[in-house]
Amino acid sequence: MSSDGRMTVLVAMSGGVDSSVAAALLVEQGHRVIGVTMKTFCYASTPGPSRTCCGLDGIQDARRVCDRLGIPHYVFDMEEEFTRDVIADFVSEYAAGRTPNPCVRCNSNTKIPDLLRRGRMLGADAVATGHYARIEEDGNGAWVVRRAVDGLKDQAYFLWGIPREVLPRLRFPLGELTKPEVRARARELGLVTADKPESQEICFVPDGDYAGFLAAHLGEDHPALTPGPLVTADGTVVGRHRGYARYTVGQRKGLGGGFPRPLYVLRVRPATNEVVVGAVEELNRDDVALGDLNWLTTPPSVGDRVEVQVRHRAPAVPATVVRADPECVELRLDRPVRAITPGQSGVLFRGDVLLGGGRIR
Amino acid sequence: MRTIYLDHAATTPVRPEVLAAMEPYAAERFGNPSSVHRWGQQARTALEEARERLAAAVGAARREIVFTGSGTEADNLAVLGRWLHARRAGGPVAVACSAVEHKAVLAAVRAAEREGAEALILAVDEEGRTDLGAVEEALRSRPCVVSVMWGNNETGVLQPVEEIAALCREAGVVFHSDAVQALGRVPVRVDRVPCDLLTVSAHKIGGPKGIGALYVRSGVDLEPLLHGGGQEAGLRPGTQNVAAAVGFAVAAELAVREQEAEAQRLAALRDRLEKALVDGLPGTVVNGGGAPRLPHILNVSVPGVDQESVLFALDLEGVAASSGSACTSGGVELSHVLTAMGRTADARTASVRLSLGRTTTSADIDEAARTIVDVLARIRAAAEG
């Protein structure tokens, strides 16, 4: 960093409106900004208009935005890292009967630490993303991540896995803005991405057919995709499922009909290839155990009062830490929560400060 | 920040003389050369004069020049045009090219292979020169065309085209050479080297993009790849780009006239840059450095440097460079040229192509050498740290 506080910042640009505006704001603040689009997987192996990697719309949109902002733009081929750290995990988690969160894996590994490492070779001091979250120095030299000002867009939930030591070199320029403000800025700046729709699907499964994606990676005859019994908690067989990887806790669709009352997936038992179903009330739980932990503040201790969020867009629920060791944290929730899903992220907050989190066991 | 463009093998700026010659044909003399009226006649005259001037620049006759939309298209017309012609005659068809050809030739050969042709890929030595024994061996299969480039676009290595042309001539096999990088850098004349087909392109020599040409020796039969109104003797239908053809002719004339002096100047600058990099970055290998090379291309492999970062880091410091061909993406995917030369892929070794041109000055080279050494040394340190 130069003495006047100007930094060389690498901005991860997807070609969407958020990262476009994040880059624009950093340019306005006087930083030396480098736009980077990560090529994380090969989008298609067959040639054709806009189906090839080099012609992918997102990359071209990011390049146009950078040209408009007068900053350089490069495409980093991160297929190897992304395949290893995100896709392989996505596939193996489903195969193990859990429901992974690939965006968390990408932030924790690829988008932030790997990008920082590569950025060093270009002389970059920091990495910025278009996440809706805030990152601040607390006045004592410690960096903390907070929820975004825009509560509807807040994405702090997805950031719990970032290694704590990278926080001083991480920036979230959009944290103080609302989504409508971001769009308005993009329009003011004449950015081509101003009115692009939100991306919803998992980026490497653009058609949403994740079962097809799993079949391609695991093979059609993998146990996770093999039909088996639908059972109730007491072991009564009530039907057939089409492969447990197609089911997630809380799911109602795809169970077939003809039941006297609506059934929901309660859990998946890969060892016996059973999908356990039951009534909606049976989905409620007031305890959650987390593994694969990561902390962005001092790790919690038994007896600590925190709030825990078990799903993006779910409210954070007050809870008490009842077990806290390096491998596992258990929490007692003040009130029951529906569909706590193994593999998803359990994220701890205190107020708007992100403490860290883990994977739900 | 001062910017230094060292990517002339990718493309070059249009020369002012070229632009001035083209300008009238973009606007007031806009006619279609196939039209009978005066507008058409004017355009036809300009087109045929351009053809004549381009032909003269490479030692060909006017009727032997076919204008195409690019060098790639000319390469495809040479390879696939020969293959289609041979296939029509029936029987098995073989197509030969060197392992270090531009993708325009290699991919065309592979396309023919997918349709049943036998692809004969000629091996090269560690300097990237096509093995004459491999050519002789391939000729025994009576290929419908042997395609070996004049000078390589990644390393600058000159191919033994005279020897290969002679071998093909002796065997009665059609010989094609892609001279896109060679034109204007070394003497390229079809009246001295017995080529049957020769590809040239305008934008590598100060001409406009969007036009190339194929020299087709009289008596060599080709099938067209496109079908339409019969322009370019039926080999490349479609209304001709008259302005670009005029620009191409001017650029080729200038390049050939200046070739000897410019080649000497560029070779001296290239050698200075090469020495600075080899001295400043221990372990640097000059790819093809043991073979005669085109004067404007330098290709080095530098160990301890991340392939992907290097071009971005150089660009940030104002130096435009490239790695192999522009479409080879990925940090670990070694270019097919270096692979054919026996190099192995190593994500931690960067191969960089620096290519000089008419606008490159001696001061550019000294500054670029300093910048490149600094940037690569910094990346090395970051990779180790």
| Last-in-domain residue among B226, B255, B284 | B255
Give chain B's mean pLDDT.
95
**Rounded mean pLDDT, A82-86:** 94
Same-domain pairing of B251 and B269: no
Looking at residue A56, its pLDDT comes to 67
Same-domain pairing of B212 and B263: no
Output the CA–CA distances (angstroms, integers) from residue A227 to A213, A303, B83, B104, B237, in the order listed.
17, 44, 52, 49, 59
**Rounded mean pLDDT, A266-288:** 95
Write the CATH number for B364: 3.90.1150.10
Looking at residue A320, its pLDDT comes to 98
Tally of CB atoms within 10 A around B338: 24
Same-domain pairing of B207 and B271: no
**Which residue in chain B has the smallest CA separation from A33?**
B316
Say if B374 is an interface residue toward chain A (CB within 8 Å).
Answer: no
Looking at residue A17, its pLDDT comes to 94
Would you say residue A352 lies in a domain?
yes
Q: Domain total for chain A?
A: 3
E strands present in B170-211: 175-178, 197-201
Same-domain pairing of B199 and B76: yes
How many residue contacts between A and B have a Cβ separation below 8 Å? 38
Looking at residue B143, its pLDDT comes to 98
Check CB contact under 8 Å for A77 and B313. Answer: no
Looking at chain B, the whole-number percentage of residues with pLDDT higher than 90 is 89
| Last-in-domain residue among B232, B255, B278 | B255
Write the CATH number for B159: 3.40.640.10
* Torsional sign, CA B38, B40, B42, B44: negative
Reported pTM:
0.88
**What confidence category does residue B81 fall into, taking pLDDT thresholds of 50, 70 and 90?**
very high
Same-domain pairing of A269 and A306: no
List of residues 6+ apart from A221 with CB closer than 8 A = none
Looking at residue B327, its pLDDT comes to 40
Residue of B144, B168, B195, B327 with catalytic role: B327
How is residue A204 written in tokens?
Answer: 């490497």
List of residues 6+ apart from B161 with CB closer than 8 A = B148, B150, B177, B193, B195
Same-domain pairing of B121 and B241: yes
pLDDT at residue A55 greater than cutoff 50: no
**Rounded mean pLDDT, B79-95:** 94
Same-domain pairing of B135 and B55: yes
**Which residue in chain A has the smallest CA separation from B376?**
A121
**What confidence category does residue A317 fall into, taking pLDDT thresholds of 50, 70 and 90?**
very high
Strand-pairing partners, residue A137, are A143
Check CB contact under 8 Å for B312 and A74. Answer: yes
Same-domain pairing of A267 and A304: no
**Which residue in chain A has the smallest CA separation from B330?**
A77
**What confidence category does residue B3 fall into, taking pLDDT thresholds of 50, 70 and 90?**
very high
Looking at residue A49, its pLDDT comes to 42
Same-domain pairing of B82 and B185: yes
Same-domain pairing of A246 and A337: no
Same-domain pairing of B216 and B281: no
Same-domain pairing of A137 and A245: no
**What confidence category does residue A195 fall into, taking pLDDT thresholds of 50, 70 and 90?**
confident
Same-domain pairing of A172 and A106: yes
Residues of A with a known catalytic role: 106, 203
- Which residues in A lie closer than 8 A to residue B312 (C-beta atoms)? 34, 72, 74, 122
pLDDT at residue B324 greater than cutoff 60: no
**What confidence category does residue A43 fall into, taking pLDDT thresholds of 50, 70 and 90?**
low
Which residue of B1, B110, B309 is the best one to mutate when testing the A interface, meaning the one whose CB has the most A CBs within 10 A?
Answer: B309
Same-domain pairing of A125 and A248: no
> What is the CA B102 to chain-centroid distance, rounded?
7
Say if B302 is an interface residue toward chain A (CB within 8 Å).
Answer: no
Least confident of A128-137, A192-201, B9-18, B199-208: A192-201
Would you say residue A240 lies in a domain?
yes
| Last-in-domain residue among B255, B287, B322 | B255
Same-domain pairing of A149 and A38: yes
Looking at residue A46, its pLDDT comes to 38
Say if B332 is an interface residue toward chain A (CB within 8 Å).
Answer: yes
Same-domain pairing of A88 and A184: yes
**What confidence category does residue A2 fall into, taking pLDDT thresholds of 50, 70 and 90?**
low
Same-domain pairing of A319 and A264: no
**Per-residue pLDDT tens digits for A86-120:** 999 999 999 999 999 999 999 999 999 999 988 98
Same-domain pairing of A289 and A271: no
Q: Domain total for chain B?
A: 2
Count of positions (residues) in chain B: 385
Domain that holds residue A242: 226-278
Say if B313 is an interface residue toward chain A (CB within 8 Å).
Answer: yes
Same-domain pairing of A156 and A262: no
Same-domain pairing of B100 and B224: yes
Same-domain pairing of B93 and B70: yes
Check CB contact under 8 Å for B330 and A118. Answer: no
**Rounded mean pLDDT, A4-25:** 93
Chain A residues whose C-beta is within 8 A of a chain B C-beta are 34, 39, 53-54, 72, 74-77, 79-80, 118, 120-123
Give chain A's mean pLDDT.
91
Measured in angstroms, the CA of A74 and the nearest CA of chain B are apart by 7
**Rounded mean pLDDT, A233-256:** 92
Same-domain pairing of B269 and B225: no
pLDDT at residue A344 greater than cutoff 60: yes
CB-based contact A194:A237 (threshold 8 Å) = no
Question: Which has the closest alpha carbon to A349: A203, A71, A171, A157?
Answer: A157
Please tell me the distance from the alpha carbon of residue A294 to that of residue A309, in angstroms, as a whole number.
15
- Which residues in B lie closer than 8 A to residue A72 (C-beta atoms)? 312, 315-316
Q: Give helix then strand counts, H and E, for chain B.
A: 10, 12
Parallel/antiparallel/unpaired status of strands A133-137 and A126-128: unpaired
**Per-residue buried b or exposed e for A32-47, using 16+ beta carbons within 10 Å of the residue's own CB:** bbbbbbbbbeebeeee
Would you say residue A3 lies in a domain?
no
Looking at chain A, the whole-number percentage of residues with pLDDT higher than 90 is 79
**Rounded mean pLDDT, B60-71:** 98
**Identity of residue A248:** T
**Rounded mean pLDDT, B308-335:** 75
Would you say residue A264 lies in a domain?
yes
**Rounded mean pLDDT, A36-42:** 85
Residue holding tokens 């993998």?
A222
Domain that holds residue B66: 16-255
Same-domain pairing of A34 and A100: yes
**Rounded mean pLDDT, B281-295:** 97
**Which residue in chain B has the smallest CA separation from A55?**
B327
Least confident of A19-33, A285-299, B42-56, B334-348: B334-348
Write the CATH number for A310: 2.40.30.10
Would you say residue A210 lies in a domain?
no
Same-domain pairing of B225 and B333: no
Output the CA–CA distances (angstroms, integers) from residue B34 to A111, B23, B38, B200, B374, in the order listed.
57, 20, 11, 24, 56
pLDDT at residue B371 greater than cutoff 80: yes
